[in-house]
Amino acid sequence: MAIDVFEHVEDYFGFLRKIKGEYKIFHIPLDLSMQTVLRATPIIANRKTLGNVHYFTKEIAIEALTDNC
With 0-12 / 13-18 / 19 or more C-beta atoms within 10 angstroms meaning exposed / middle / buried, residue 7 is buried
Classify burial at 40, counting beta carbons within 10 Å of its beta carbon; exposed 0-12, middle 13-18, buried 19 or more: exposed
In total, how many domains does the chain have?
1
Structural domain containing residue 11? 2-68
pLDDT at residue 62 greater than cutoff 90: yes
37-50 pLDDT, tens digit each: 777 777 788 778 87
Query: Over the chain, what is the mean pLDDT?
Result: 85
| Of residues 14 and 38, more confidently modeled | 14
Find the length of the chain.
69
pLDDT above 80: residue 34: no
